[in-house]
Amino acid sequence: METLLQQLASGLASGGIYASLALALVMIYQATDVVNFAQGEMAMFSTYLAWTLLNAGVPYWAAFVATVVLSFVGGLLIERLIIRPVEDAPILSIVIVCIGLLVILNSLAGWIYSYIIKPFPSPFPPRPLRLGSVVFGTHDLGVIGITLLMLLGLYVFFRFTPLGLAMRAAAQNPVSSRLVGIRVGWMLALGWGLAAVLGAVAGMLVAPVVFLEPNMMSGILIYAFASATLGGFTSPVGAVVGGFLVGITENLVGTYVPLIGTELKLTVALVLIIGVLLVRPSGLFGRATVRRV
């Protein structure tokens, strides 16, 4: 029983990490219709920015805010300078540009900062919370809390603000959006900027757990993809629920499925996801595709 509870707690904690990056993926997909393979590396790079600021003696929250702002500008610039020239190309060509971005950022980070892991501070107090025999890291709880806050923010933004609605419209039907006066190009750029912000926050939440290094996000990106797929790429709520489900499933499979154990836990988790997709092809919370004939 103790094992079960502790594994659930740990699963929720990793789930929070997956969810935070999955939110960024969903954000950019909602806003631009692109699956951004470079999302993880962008987040990693933002986290190195924060680390540089912290190392220069900037207080945590000041560095946090500065990183968020810089990441927003960075995301905007990436869209304007790098994605823009292929805007009218087939989606798969844009995906290749994202992959190009992924390898560039990964390689540059290694070159600039080396591959030595670096500790990254957590804004939360270090003492773990104990409920009976189960230990919750305060940072883990903080990750879950901030992820839920980001989710709420996204939900409100896309549902209720004119800007959020305009962004969704621009992504879903650029031509009509242009006709009603939405500046589609800038909406796409904003989408990249906001996704970069979510990624930066995710990076700063992840780094205290997995340590900062250039490949920090590559494993997590895979899990974030799994989470977003499970929850539905069109739904921020789905991404978060998906994140938690993936985190918990993986821990439970590793612990309780004896023959398979830790060696195949990812495989089993993935098979389960495909199983879910077969029942709900657009993810748990995703909208089914409606096709016009």
Partner 1 sequence: MAKLDEALVSSKLRYPWRASRVLGYGKGMAGGLLFAAAVVVPFFLSNYQVFQLTLAYVYAIALLGLNLLTGYNGQISLGHGAFYAIGAYTAAIMMERWQIPYGWTLPAAGVICLGVGWLFGIPALRLEGLYLALATFTLALAVPQLLKYFEAWTGGVQGIVLMKPEVPWGLPVNQDQWLYFLTLGVLLLAMLLGRNLLHGRVGRAIVAIRDHPVAAATMGIHVPLYKALTFGVSAMYTGVAGALGAIVIQFVAPDSFNVFLSISFLVGIIVGGLASISGAIFGALFIQFVPNYAQDLSKAAPWAIYGVFLILCMYVMPTGIAGFLRRLTRRWQVGGTADRAV
Partner 2 sequence: MVRRWGGLALVLVLGLAVGVATGAKQYDPGASDTEIKIGNTNPYSGPASSYGTIGRALAAYFKMVNEKGGIHGRKITFISYDDGYSPPKTVEQVRRLVERDQVLLLFNTLGTPTNTAIWEYVNRRKIPHLFVATGATKWGDPEGHPWTMGWQPNYQSEGRIYAKYILQHLPQARIGILYQNDDYGKDYVKGFKDGLGDKAADLIVLEQSYEVTDPTVESQIINLKNSGANVFFNVTIPKFAAQAIRKAAEIGWQPVHFLNSVSNSIEAVLRPAGLDNARGIISAFYLKDPDDPQWQDDPAVQEWRAWMRRYYPEGNIHDVFNVYAYSVAQTLVHVLERCGDTLTRANVMRQAASIKDLTLPMLLPGITINTSPTDFYPIEQLQLGRFDGTKWVLFGEVLAAR
- Contacted by 211, from partner 1, partner 2, none: CB < 5 to 8 Å by type: partner 2
Candidates 44-52, 113-121, 155-163, 275-283: pick the segment binding partner 1 (CB under 8 A): 275-283
Residue 129's φ and ψ, nearest 5 degrees, are -90, 140
**Helix 265-279 vs helix 216-231: crossing angle, to nearest 10:** 30
From the list 10, 32, 71, 235, which residue makes contact with partner 2 (rule: CB under 8 A)?
10
Q: Shortest distance, CB of residue 271 to partner 1, whole angstroms?
A: 8
Instruction: Give the SS3 label for residue 215.
Output: coil
Task: Scan for tokens 């499925």, then name that residue.
Answer: 257
Residue 127's φ and ψ, nearest 5 degrees, are -75, 125
Q: Shortest distance, CB of residue 59 to partner 2, whole angstroms?
A: 21
How far apart CA 286 and CA 280 sit, in angstroms, is 9
100 binds partner 1 (CB under 8 A): yes
226 binds partner 1 (CB under 8 A): yes
For residue 81, what are its two tokens?
Answer: 């300078």
Residues 6+ apart with CB under 8 A from 60: 54, 121, 123
238 binds partner 2 (CB under 8 A): no
How far apart CA 217 and CA 24 sit, in angstroms, is 13
Candidates 10-18, 89-97, 178-186, 201-209: pick the segment binding partner 1 (CB under 8 A): 89-97
- Contacted by 108, from partner 2, partner 1, none: CB < 5 to 8 Å by type: partner 1
Annotate 277-288 with b (16+ C-beta within 10 A) or e (fewer).
beeeebbbbbee
Site residues for partner 1, 112-171, by CB under 8 A, read none
Q: Shortest distance, CB of residue 135 to partner 2, whole angstroms?
A: 5
Instruction: Give the SS3 label for residue 134.
Output: strand
- Asked if 223 and 206 touch (Cβ cutoff 8 Å), the reply is no
- Asked if 226 and 269 touch (Cβ cutoff 8 Å), the reply is yes
- Asked if 28 and 192 touch (Cβ cutoff 8 Å), the reply is yes
Site residues for partner 2, 97-116, by CB under 8 A, read 103, 106-107, 110, 114-116
From the list 101, 151, 217, 220, which residue makes contact with partner 1 (rule: CB under 8 A)?
101
How far apart CA 211 and CA 244 sit, in angstroms, is 21
How far apart CA 18 and CA 109 sit, in angstroms, is 22
251 binds partner 2 (CB under 8 A): yes
104 binds partner 1 (CB under 8 A): yes
35 binds partner 1 (CB under 8 A): yes
- In the complex, the residues that contact partner 2 under the rule CB under 8 A are 2-3, 6-7, 10-11, 13-14, 17-18, 103, 106-107, 110, 114-119, 128, 135, 137, 206, 209-211, 213-215, 218-220, 222-223, 250-251, 254-255, 261-263, 266
- In the complex, the residues that contact partner 1 under the rule CB under 8 A are 29, 33, 35, 82, 85-86, 88-97, 99-104, 106-108, 110-111, 172, 222, 225-226, 229, 233-234, 263-264, 266-267, 270-271, 273-274, 277-278, 281-283, 289-293
